[in-house]
C-alpha cells in the first residue's frame, strides 16, 4: 500500500471554528485600540479608533485616573479628564509632564493649567524616554492587560477592564523601582507588605548573617510550613494576587 506523505487533516468542530473566528475578530479590533496617555502627573496622544488617557503620580507611580474617548480628544476633553482626576484625588499636582501633542501644545490647555496653578512641562519631540514614566506604565498596560486578553468591542466594557487593571496595578502590583512597594503603599506612606514580618520556610536560614535575604523580620521560627495563596482581581486571570500564608 502506498504511503501518503500528506499529514491527515483534522476537522475542528464547528464550535471551535466559531471560537477561532471570534478570536481573530477581537485581535483585529485590538489593532484599532491605541494608547493616549496624560500625566504628575503626565500626558500624550496617538491616533486610533478608541483613545485612552491615563494620569499617574510621578512619585508613587500610582494611576490617578483612566479614561477612554471615542474620537481624538481635544484640549477641553483632556482638561475635563484631569479635573476629574484632581477632584477624585483631592489633590492638585504642581506640574503636568506631557508631550507636544495638539491637545497639550495649545493655548486652551496652557490656560487651563494656569487657572489650576499647574506648570506644564513638555517632553522633547521624537526623543524616547523624555516622558519615561508614563511610557513605562503604558508598556505595562499592554504587556499585562491589553495584549493578553480579548479586548471588548464595546467602549464601556473596554473601560471597565482598564479600571480593573488600574485598581490591581495600584494596590497589588509591587514595583522594583519602589523597592517592592505598591503604588498605593507609596502614595499613602503606609507600611509596605514587603517589610512586614514574614514566614521563613528554610529551617537553616542564617538569621544573623548580613548576607541573608530578604531582610524582613521572621514572624515565627525558621522552617515554618507555608502555603501559597493565589486569587485573581475580579476573576481576571491576568491580574493575580499572591500571598504567602502559614500552613496549619
Each domain of the chain, given as residue ranges in start order, spans: 29-179, 196-246
Write the DSSP symbol of residue 25. H
CA angle 165, 28, 49 (to 5 degrees): 70
- Per-residue pLDDT in tens (0 to 9) along the chain, 248 residues: 444 444 444 444 455 445 444 444 444 444 333 333 333 454 444 434 678 889 999 999 999 999 988 888 899 999 999 999 999 999 999 999 988 888 999 999 999 999 999 999 988 766 666 688 888 999 999 999 999 998 888 888 999 999 999 999 999 999 989 988 999 999 999 999 888 888 888 888 777 777 666 678 888 788 888 898 999 999 999 999 998 888 87
Contact 238, 144 (CB under 8 A): yes
Instruction: Determine the 3-state secondary structure of 72 from DSSP.
Output: coil
CA angle 148, 177, 199 (to 5 degrees): 85
The pTM of the full predicted model, rounded to 2 decimals, is 0.76
Q: Which long-range contacts (CB under 8 A, 24 or more apart) does 98-101 make?
A: 98/38, 98/39, 98/42, 98/43, 98/44, 98/122, 98/123, 98/131, 99/43, 99/44, 99/45, 99/123, 99/125, 99/130, 99/131, 100/125, 101/43, 101/44, 101/45
pLDDT at 28: 41
pLDDT at 60: 94
**Separation CA 142–CA 32 (nearest Å):** 14
pLDDT at 126: 63
Q: Exposure of 112 by Cβ count < 10 A (0-12 exposed, 13-18 middle, 19+ buried)?
A: buried
What's the CATH code, domain 29-179? Answer: 3.30.420.10
Amino acid at each position: 500500500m502506498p504511503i501518503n506523505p500528506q499529514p491527515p487533516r483534522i476537522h475542528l468542530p464547528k464550535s471551535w471554528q466559531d471560537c477561532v473566528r471570534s478570536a481573530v475578530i477581537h485581535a483585529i479590533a485590538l489593532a484599532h485600540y491605541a494608547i493616549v496617555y496624560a500625566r504628575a502627573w503626565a500626558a500624550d496622544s496617538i491616533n486610533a479608533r478608541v483613545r485612552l488617557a491615563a494620569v499617574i503620580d510621578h512619585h508613587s507611580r500610582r494611576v490617578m485616573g483612566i479614561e477612554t474617548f471615542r474620537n481624538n480628544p481635544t484640549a477641553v476633553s483632556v482638561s475635563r479628564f484631569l479635573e476629574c482626576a484632581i477632584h477624585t484625588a483631592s489633590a492638585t499636582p504642581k506640574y503636568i509632564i506631557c508631550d507636544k501633542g495638539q491637545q497639550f501644545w495649545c493655548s486652551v490647555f496652557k490656560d487651563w493649567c494656569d487657572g489650576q496653578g499647574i506648570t506644564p512641562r513638555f517632553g522633547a519631540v521624537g526623543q524616547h524616554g523624555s516622558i519615561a514614566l508614563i511610557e513605562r506604565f503604558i508598556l505595562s498596560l499592554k504587556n499585562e492587560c491589553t495584549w493578553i486578553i480579548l479586548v471588548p468591542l464595546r467602549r464601556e466594557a473596554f473601560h471597565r477592564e482598564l479600571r480593573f487593571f488600574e485598581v490591581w496595578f495600584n494596590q497589588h502590583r509591587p514595583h522594583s523601582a519602589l523597592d517592592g512597594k505598591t503604588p498605593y503603599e507609596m502614595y499613602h506612606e503606609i507600611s509596605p507588605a514587603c517589610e512586614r514580618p514574614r514566614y521563613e520556610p528554610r529551617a537553616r536560614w542564617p538569621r544573623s548573617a548580613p548576607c541573608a535575604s530578604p531582610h524582613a523580620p521572621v514572624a515565627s521560627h525558621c522552617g515554618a510550613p507555608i502555603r501559597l495563596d493565589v486569587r485573581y482581581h475580579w476573576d481576571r486571570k491576568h491580574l493575580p494576587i499572591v500571598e504567602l500564608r502559614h500552613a496549619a
